[in-house]
Structure 1
Amino acid sequence: MATVDLRAPTTDLHRSYLDAVDEFGDAHRDGDGDWERVDTDGTVRTFTRAELETAEGFARFVAHQNDLGRRQRPGYVPCTFLWLVEAGGYVGSLAIRHDLNDFLLREGGHIGYSVRPSARRQGHATEALRQALDRCADLGLDRVLVTCDDDNLGSASVIEANGGWLESTVTAGDGRLVRRYWIESSAR
């Protein structure tokens, strides 16, 4: 089993995080919040790569990711962002969504995660999800929904290894097939 730890985002992982972003390329990083923030005037802004390259910009990003009281985009729910860390390096992201809106209930779920390509197939996601389920129980989420694309057999294996049972497969808004799994977090 991997020795990954779930940690709050930290500036200590600045270079490692950006190296992983480069590894992902244009691929979506579930669990990372899409770098979006809502300013005090309600405007949705995105942290830019150039901003995250600077120590000050990265510190603002980390503070935003760790702020449970941050403004939410309309239609979004409160969320805890965590980073998967192994041997002092960033290997992925995980988000615990505290509630489910219609979109999350249908295809997004309570927990989303991604592992950088060079760290995949090493048990990081399985261990991170196990730890996240303990945190969900602490949040009072006794049963959580975790989803994955129907053709993502690696993620399906991660969910099933953590006790997930397949409730259904649905067609997402963009036409993808999505597997919907439930996991009892309080039974851990």
Structure 2
Amino acid sequence: MDVRPARRLRLTRPDARLRDAWLAAYAEWPAGAHLDASGLRDGDDVTSPEGFAAWVAKLLVCADPLAPLPPGQVTHSTYWWITEDGSVLGSAELRHDLGHPLLLDAGGHIGYSVRPGCRGRGIATWALAAALDRARDRGLDRVLLTCSPENAASARVIEKAGGVLEDVRETVVGPKRRYWITL
């Protein structure tokens, strides 16, 4: 029997007070890597305290369906950081709709990423389950998730959560496996 200690994983709203913990997670990704579900865009300043606070404020605005979208944002999204005991382990995003062709083709409703040093611990599985709960709470009855064909770990996470493969297609951001999950 595999007995693991109880986890204290949380989906935490972005918070400028977690800057050092977020930067420690960010440092594990290769330079220039795209951090899925982070909301980080080219030109965002996350290194200075002021820039980081402005970026966090932008992420929080994205969750408000009545607020205008920041430049580069195509739909309202709720962002969370996956945290445990004050450490940032990754991020998750719930896009409120698929009203932009890129999201329907390649992005989906939910994205997630786990920092490299924390992979293989079931964190992505936990984060996806938590994000699915939030999607259900928003009234969604079906969600689209995508991953690159070479990302076997993410495909397993999605399939474990009930994802049914619709297709694999070429998109403007490369090939994507597209899964639907009924909530």
Q: TM-score range by the shorter chain?
A: 0.7 to 0.9
Map 1:28-177 onto structure 2 (within 5 A): 28-35=34-41, 46-49=43-46, 52-54=47-49, 56-67=50-61, 68=64, 69-73=67-71, 76-100=74-98, 101-174=100-173, 176-177=174-175
- The answer to whether the 8 Å contact 2:45/2:52 transfers is no
2: CA distance between counterparts of 1:11 and 1:80? 16
Q: How far does the alpha carbon of each residue in 1:7-51 deviate from its partner, in whole angstroms, 9 at most, with x for none?
A: 101123211101111111321101011246xxxxxxxxx3224xx
Question: What do residues 70-91 of structure 1 show as CA deviations (whole Å, max 9, x unaligned)?
Answer: 5243670111111101121001
Given residue 172 of structure 1, which amino acid in structure 2 is its aligned partner? T
Aligned CA RMSD, in angstroms, stands at: 1.8
> Could you say if the C-alpha distance between residues 3 and 163 of structure 1 is closer, same or farther in structure 2, counting changes exceeding 3 Å?
farther
Q: Structure 2 CA distance, aligned partners of 1:121 and 1:80?
A: 25
Paired with 2:73 and 2:8, the residues of 1 have a C-alpha distance of 35
The one of the two structures with greater contact order (alpha-carbon pairs below 8 A, sep at least 6) is: 1
1:177 positional shift: 2.1
- Between the aligned partners of 1:33 and 1:123, the Cα distance in structure 2 is 22
Q: Extract unaligned runs of 5+ from structure 1.
A: 37-45
**Is 1:72–1:78's contact at 8 Å kept on the other side of the alignment?**
no
Q: Distance in 1 between matches of 2:123 and 2:157?
A: 9
Asked if the contact 1:3–1:124 (Cα under 8 Å) also holds between the matched residues in 2, the reply is no
Deviation at 1:142, TM superposition (A): 0.9
Letter of the 1:48 counterpart: D
TM-score normalized with structure 2 length: 0.86
Tell me what 1:178 maps to.
176
| Matched residue type, 1:28 | H
Distance 1:48 1:119 in 2: 25
Runs of 4+ in 1 over 4 A off after TM superposition: none
Q: TM-score of the superposition, structure 1-length normalised?
A: 0.84
Which amino acid in 1 is paired with 2:150? D
Aligned identity (percent) is: 42
**Native 8 Å contact 1:167 1:180 kept in 2:** yes
In the aligned structure 1, how far is the partner of 2:27 from the partner of 2:89? Answer: 12
Cα distance in 2, alignment partners of residues 83 and 11 from structure 1: 12
Residues 74, 116 of structure 1: CA spacing in aligned structure 2 closer, same or farther, 3 A cutoff?
Answer: closer
